[in-house]
Amino acid sequence: MKKLISLFFVLTIMTPSALLIISCGGQPNDNVEVWIESSPNSTSLIGYIDAAKYFNAKSENEIKVEIKNISKGNMERELLSNKYAPDIINGSLDRAFRVQQIRSEKIMSIEFDETKAFDKSFLEFGQDKDDNQLMVPIGKSFSVLLINKKLLREIGYKFSEDGEELVNKIWDKRFEIIKELDKSKKKFLGIDDMSDLINLQFAKENKISTSEMNPDYFFNYYDDILNINKKAANTFDPLMQELNNIRDSLIVTSNNTRPSGAFKNNSLLMSTASSAGLKYYNSWDKGWDNDIGIINIPSTKNFMVQRGDGLIALESGNSNKEKVAEDFINYLVDSDEIWEPTSATGYIPWTKKGIENIKFKEDSPEDEVLKMVKGQTKNQFSIESNESSGLYNQFIFNEMVVNILLSDSGWDIEKLFDGDAKAAYTNASKSREIIVNEN
């Protein structure tokens, strides 16, 4: 029972138009075109626009940088429908792998000063198995566990413990608590990212590294092969069986469902979340609600599960444009223009300079996460993007594992290998060869 507990510790500005470009369809662009997937008025998009403006003003090169806003969820569609690819896009390393499947352009390996990184693993998060930097991080976020202390008091529990001890106490009394929550039709646990729980199966004492084939993982996908390790499924089956016992009391991220709404409305006791999205869980208009506990996932103090997107550069065949694209990414690594607005989104810097200089409001959720990061020891940040990010979240867990857990009959490990599952693997792997390892 206590082993399972450790798994829950994974867990109106107007846009300047001068630097925004409209999609030209089949027209090539002589300048460096940067596609940023975000909301039209987001603070991060404003940061990219400002950074491009200052970069262009300082650059003596006639090739300039232009920013194009891509609406959320449409990056892959735009990449498929446009004859000419952009020079830079934002996204996870998983997106870089998918781009290689749908575009003929290769991903550039970006060269820059790696000593700028606060921790080497922040860069490994965007590297392929050959250590090529295919995705350069911009902001970092981490998996955290949130506890609604107000709701806990509402149903008659006033635990004096905090942090890991509080979670252990809740889990030990979970069936009693669930019974009380059920009286008011409230839920027990919200899972924002199922892959967090699965990844922690392998993140006990050491840093996770999925930069090479790992037989302990259920999925590995590199080169042209998607490896499915059947034996590895047994390692997270106990977790799924435990969740199966309380599945009527779960809120699981699937499609557009998010635990944040239920948490904010005081109908959810615990939830895993990305530290960058904590504002969506906060019920206070000003400042952070002190009744919401933020706990590092896990609390073993030797690592955190990292998340966060970055920038991916595509080869254009024009060496001058590629050089400007690389220079712009290097500029962004230290850019104050990108960091002032990006910090408002909940992300924190990944460079030594950025972490030293960034100032968040005292006791804000971002400040709490920053303290967690600064308090870690060497080799503490887990790597999950290469192996799990898009394959787990988008294709497998949201479309298959979650559906199995929430189906009428509940969790059944054999459903991972039936006909529907094979179709899901094929969908996830696209053109990759699928190999099921029995041992």
| Residue of higher predicted confidence among 41 and 30 | 30
The alpha carbon of residue 150 and the mean position of all alpha carbons in its chain are separated, in whole angstroms, by 28
Please give the Cα distance from 123 to 127 (Å, whole number).
7
Least trusted range by pLDDT, from 86-90, 389-393, 400-404: 389-393
Residues in the chain: 439
Residue 310 φ/ψ, nearest 5 degrees: -160, -155
Q: Give percent above pLDDT 70 in the chain.
A: 71
Least trusted range by pLDDT, from 49-53, 80-84, 198-202: 198-202
Enter the pTM of the model. 0.75
Q: Tens digit of pLDDT for each residue in 324-380?
A: 999 999 998 877 666 665 566 678 888 888 888 888 877 777 888 888 888 765 555
Q: Which class would CATH give 32-141+309-375?
A: alpha beta
C-alpha distances in Å from residue 44, one per residue of 38, 241, 288, 338, 385 = 8, 40, 21, 7, 21
Most confident by average pLDDT, 131-135, 202-206, 213-217, 317-321 = 317-321
Neighbouring C-beta atoms of residue 160, cutoff 10 Å: 7
Q: Same fold for the domain at 2-9+143-305+384-437 and the one at 32-141+309-375?
A: yes
For residue 190, give the nearest of 272, 294, 264 by alpha carbon.
272
Longest dimension (CA), the chain: 68
Residue 417, pLDDT > 90, answer no
Average pLDDT, the chain: 76
Report the pLDDT value the prediction gives residue 93, as an integer from 0 to 100: 72
Q: What is the CATH number of domain 2-9+143-305+384-437?
A: 3.40.190.10
Q: Would you state the structure tokens that stand for residue 433, as one six-digit string?
A: 């060869």
198 contacts 239 by C-beta, under 8 angstroms: yes
Q: Which amino acid is at 53?
A: K
Residue spans of the domains in the chain: they are 2-9+143-305+384-437, 32-141+309-375
Average pLDDT over residues 230-237: 77
- Please identify which residue in the block is written with the tokens 């608590």: 177
- Please identify which residue in the block is written with the tokens 């400042």: 287
Report the pLDDT value the prediction gives residue 12, as an integer from 0 to 100: 25
Please give the Cα distance from 117 to 125 (Å, whole number).
12
Q: Tens digit of pLDDT for each residue in 76-86?
A: 889 988 889 99
383 contacts 123 by C-beta, under 8 angstroms: no
- Please identify which residue in the block is written with the tokens 């820059």: 112
Average pLDDT over residues 96-105: 79
Most confident by average pLDDT, 179-183, 217-221, 355-359, 373-377 = 179-183
Residue 265, pLDDT > 80, answer yes
Residue 62, pLDDT > 90, answer yes
| Residue of higher predicted confidence among 63 and 390 | 63
Report the pLDDT value the prediction gives residue 404, as an integer from 0 to 100: 85
